[in-house]
Amino acid sequence: MKHIYTVTGMTCNGCRTFVEKKLNAMDAVLEATVDLETSEAVIESQEHIATEALQAALGDHYIISLPGEDNSKKNLAESKNKKGKGTGMFYCPMQCEGEKTYNAPGDCPVCGMDLVEEVSLVQNSETTYTCTMHPEIIKDEFGLCPICGMELVPAEVEESEEIKTYKKLFHKFWISVVFTVPIFLIAMSDMVPNNPIYHILDLNYWNYIQFLLSIPVVFYANWVFFKRAYKSVLTWNLNMFTLIGIGSGVAWLFSVFGILFPDLFPAQFKTATGTVHVYFEAATVILTLVMLGQLLEAKAHSKTNSAVKELLKLAPNKAVKVVNGKEEIISIDKIVVGNILRVKPGDRIPVDGVIVEGESSVDESMITGEPIPVTKTKNDLVKAGTINGKQSFLMKAEKVGADTLLSQIIVMVNNASRSKAPIQKLADKISGYFVPVVVIISIITFFVWKIFGPEPSYVYALVNAIAVLIIACPCALGLATPMSVMVGVGKGAKAGVLIKNAEALEKLNKINVVIIDKTGTITEGKPSVETVAEVSEGFNHKKVLQYIISLNTLSEHPIAEATVKYGKEQNEVGLKVSNFTSVTGKGVSGFIESKKVVLGNDQLMRDSGVTISNKLKEEIVAYQKLGKTVPMLAVEGNLMGYVVISDKIKETSKRAIAQLHEKGLKVIMLTGDNEETAKAVASELKLEEFRAEVLPEDKLKEVERLQNEGAVVAMAGDGINDAPALAKSDVGIAMGTGTDVAIESASITLVKGDLHGIVKAHNLSVETMKNIKQNLFFALFYNSLGIPIAAGVLFPFFGLLLSPMLAAVAMSFSSVSVIANALRLRKINIE
């Protein structure tokens, strides 16, 4: 028996391997293969295996079910996992395991860093409302306070994990400071002539006091670093905390043994009074400074996803629902598809929908990046989060919750932020060898100073070996790429450039050819009928239009929609069509009143054996030279008429193409339109290269041809016919005004749907890659310079040594510096 099961919860290849291994370990299973992409498991067995048995083998981490089986357990598990104001989904900011996510807060099992919670727009269905004046009033729905009449507001929900983590670090940092400062002052008092504190107690007692003060610092405030270090050694995922744990741990343990068993130590480690030199101040200051670095890093990291947080603020928490002419205020999560909503002046539009009554200007800058308000009238689409102008209108809800454009933007930004750019492979490769190499350098440093260093050589050896461990920072290297990607993707989202993954962001920097479609990409994609002409006495104007709209009613092409709309305006009614056929890139055909009818371009006419007179050809070509599209109508092999379609070139197209040329990029226009129309459009846009009468498969072949010649190709399109070429190109760019298929096939989506978005996307890619390279250079330069200095290479020439405490300062601020540099991307101009 062979069955296909759906497996949910897998996020990486490690998950796939785990599931496959667990299933194959079952006695009743002959063979199990698991596919991560489709989230499916194919299980071969001699007898049926109950789903419950398969679930028991996988545990609670993954949910296995037959297609169509009730997934209530999965949904329940997901709802239980949600915490705070986020999604309940956590990820490592350094992307140690790629796009893998976790269901609970904690530490990354690879690098040890705090996991970060992803934020979401999806509202909690259990939102409650309260009155600011009367907090005892709690309601499940939005409304007015029954006591004072004030509007109820959403009750405060549990804090996000991000805020909790920051507060926890803040608390532990100040505990660490309180106990570390006196230890530091006691240790530094040795620098004061005739040390006054020795008149109060002997040095040995002060060492014990330092020991007692250090216990809360080590075992409470910073114990998490040692836990991470231990776990990293146990799993052999060596990281920054491995080095911190070894360095500060050695200093602290050495000091403890020094005060408890002083006789075990040689004279080199002892003071003039016979006590052993202790390094409690080094251990505690190092740990406190590392905690400060973690605190600053958490603060800075919260700003890297600020773009998503700002998008979250766009969604209102209430809406005005209209039922039978009466208005009622409802919570945003109570809106369902089909509801009629009133949007008042200045209000944010609650969900995606269409205007059914009224008109207004709408500020869409937060979605498209364009500052000029757009006039919206009846039947126009409006998007959630955009701001209504000075007039009121009624709208019908069409997409709610996670289906709105705003929600999809946030999901795309979150997913892209977690994806890895190819350039990160270099950092990952270096990081894999980094910690073991640093430990070896530290050991070498110890023995070199022991053998060749001045007296007390053991002391110099120990201090410099610890400094090497502390100053090394694999964290800065690991954060170099992800932080820039996160900020860059967020910056793009605010400018109307949606990036599906980091690979696309990097590849866009390398493109040298841009292929663009005509209809809907260069032009508005809103064709309109200029004229309908009859060319045979057997068919009058009315009959030609009637046949055209009859065929086009069954077609989804924008030109077809334009003719149908025109027919309705002329009060024409279509006829019954049988055996309808759509010929991709050419036109449509069918039978009307038992006659074979063909409607399309020159190619379709030739294929159908339709003869066109020279005079008629000249008439049609004259329109085409003006950039018009002219579909022709033939009945029973005879040309009966044609329709002239115009599609206005977008205002931004000419400027955008000029800017792409200035960047040294070759721009090629591909269109299914005829040669004359294509030539007219290319001439107006000053395009040197174009291909006309191109079929979808020809677009794909053109992309492949250019790639075979060594070109890095970006393809921009908006229709179903563009999808194969979008998927094949190095970077597929979809117009947000286009079809879902095109958007799904592309790796970048331009919300506003104009070519200037390509310019913005390319500028963003160039700036982001520059920022990543700066971060990588800084991280590599810092470690290449810092480790030798900590090892003492300057001592023979200048007599300079680096204290482990200064090494801790440098290490803590190196990561913060990388994040700070990434945050600069928020200020760049990509227009």
The answer, yes or no, to whether residue 179 has pLDDT greater than 90, is: yes
What's the number of CA atoms in the CB half-sphere (13 Å) around residue 373? 15
Q: Strand order of the sheet with strand 360-363?
A: 374-376, 360-363, 387-388
Predicted pLDDT at 75: 40
Predicted pLDDT at 784: 84
The answer, yes or no, to whether residue 304 has pLDDT greater than 70, is: no
Predicted pLDDT at 66: 79
Confidence of residue 118 (pLDDT cuts 50, 70, 90): low
The answer, yes or no, to whether residue 779 has pLDDT greater than 60, is: yes
Which range has the top average pLDDT, 371-385, 387-401, 743-757?
387-401
The answer, yes or no, to whether residue 37 has pLDDT greater than 70, is: no
71-114: per-residue pLDDT in tens? 444 443 333 333 334 556 777 766 666 666 777 777 777 666 67
The mean per-residue pLDDT over the stretch 715-724 comes to: 76
The answer, yes or no, to whether residue 590 has pLDDT greater than 90, is: yes
Q: What is the separation of C-alpha 673 from the centre of its chain, rounded to a whole number of angstroms?
A: 36
Predicted pLDDT at 145: 76
- The helix (H) or strand (E) run that includes residue 431 is helix 424-452
Separation CA 184–CA 91 (nearest Å): 37
190 annotated active-site: no
Separation CA 22–CA 73 (nearest Å): 20
Separation CA 301–CA 483 (nearest Å): 8
* Percentage of the chain modeled with pLDDT above 70: 84
The mean per-residue pLDDT over the stretch 533-549 comes to: 88
Confidence of residue 159 (pLDDT cuts 50, 70, 90): low
Predicted pLDDT at 401: 80
Q: Copy the structure tokens of residue 802.
A: 């680096």
Question: Which range is least confidently modeled, 101-105, 531-535, 579-583, 744-748?
Answer: 101-105
Question: Which range is least confidently modeled, 306-320, 392-406, 440-454, 650-664?
Answer: 306-320
Q: What is the DSSP string of 743-794?
A: HHH-SEEESS-STHHHHHHHHHHHHHHHHHHHHHHHHHHHHHHHHHHHHTTT
For residues 559 and 551, which has the higher predicted lDDT (pLDDT)?
A: 551
Predicted pLDDT at 230: 86
Separation CA 435–CA 477 (nearest Å): 12
Is the separation of the CB atoms in 627 and 684 below 8 Å?
A: yes
Which range has the top average pLDDT, 154-163, 286-295, 477-486, 624-633?
624-633
Q: Copy the structure tokens of residue 571.
A: 């009060």
Rg (CA), the chain: 34
Q: SS3 for 218-241, per residue?
A: HHHHCHHHHHHHHHHHHHCCCCHH
Is the separation of the CB atoms in 684 and 696 below 8 Å?
A: no
Catalytic residue among 107, 352, 363, 517: 517
**CA-based nearest residue to 190, from 110, 115, 281, 74:** 281
Neighbours of 347 (CB within 10 A): 16
Separation CA 599–CA 614 (nearest Å): 19
The mean per-residue pLDDT over the stretch 146-174 comes to: 74
Predicted pLDDT at 79: 35
Q: What is the separation of C-alpha 505 from the centre of its chain, rounded to a whole number of angstroms?
A: 11
What's the number of CA atoms in the CB half-sphere (13 Å) around residue 529? 20
Average model confidence (pLDDT) across the chain: 81
Predicted pLDDT at 84: 38
Predicted pLDDT at 598: 94
Predicted pLDDT at 592: 92
* Percentage of the chain modeled with pLDDT above 90: 17
Neighbours of 124 (CB within 10 A): 15
Q: SS3 for 264-314, per residue?
A: HCCHHHECCCCCECCCHHHHHHHHHHHHHHHHHHHHHHHHHCHHHHHHHCC
The mean per-residue pLDDT over the stretch 209-229 comes to: 91
Separation CA 94–CA 107 (nearest Å): 12
The answer, yes or no, to whether residue 781 has pLDDT greater than 60, is: yes
Predicted pLDDT at 77: 38
For residues 238 and 709, which has the higher predicted lDDT (pLDDT)?
A: 709
User: In sequence order, which residues have a C-beta less than 8 Å from that of residue 143 and are 6 or more positions away?
Assistant: 129, 151, 152, 329
Neighbours of 135 (CB within 10 A): 10
Would you call 611 helix, strand, or coil by DSSP? coil
User: In sequence order, which residues have a C-beta less than 8 Å from that of residue 25 and are 6 or more positions away?
Assistant: 57
Separation CA 754–CA 522 (nearest Å): 7
The answer, yes or no, to whether residue 124 has pLDDT greater than 60, is: no
For residues 5 and 478, which has the higher predicted lDDT (pLDDT)?
A: 5
Question: Which range is least confidently modeled, 26-40, 264-278, 327-341?
Answer: 264-278
Amino acid at 70: D
Separation CA 15–CA 203 (nearest Å): 57
Q: Copy the structure tokens of residue 237.
A: 């995922």
Question: Which range is least confidently modeled, 416-425, 590-599, 752-761?
Answer: 416-425
429-468: per-residue pLDDT in tens? 777 788 888 889 999 999 999 899 888 888 888 888 888 8
Integer angstrom CA distances of residue 290 from 167, 178, 595: 16, 15, 83
Question: Which range is least confidently modeled, 118-122, 481-485, 517-521?
Answer: 118-122
Separation CA 180–CA 757 (nearest Å): 53
Predicted pLDDT at 318: 82
Q: Copy the structure tokens of residue 474.
A: 């694999």
Confidence of residue 711 (pLDDT cuts 50, 70, 90): very high
Confidence of residue 354 (pLDDT cuts 50, 70, 90): very high
Residues in a beta bridge with 582: 588
Predicted pLDDT at 97: 61
Is the separation of the CB atoms in 714 and 731 below 8 Å?
A: yes
Would you call 214 helix, strand, or coil by DSSP? helix
601: phi then psi, degrees, rounded to nearest 5 = -90, -175
For residues 386 and 268, which has the higher predicted lDDT (pLDDT)?
A: 386
The answer, yes or no, to whether residue 585 has pLDDT greater than 90, is: no
**CA-based nearest residue to 96, from 83, 113, 82:** 113
| Residue whose entry in the numeric block shows the structure tokens 């600020």 | 306
Please say whether the dihedral angle defined by the alpha carbons of residues 234, 235, 236 and 239, taken in this order, is positive or negative.
negative
The answer, yes or no, to whether residue 39 has pLDDT greater than 50, is: yes
For residues 696 and 371, which has the higher predicted lDDT (pLDDT)?
A: 696
Q: Strand order of the sheet with strand 138-139?
A: 138-139, 129-130, 153-154
16-26: per-residue pLDDT in tens? 777 888 888 88
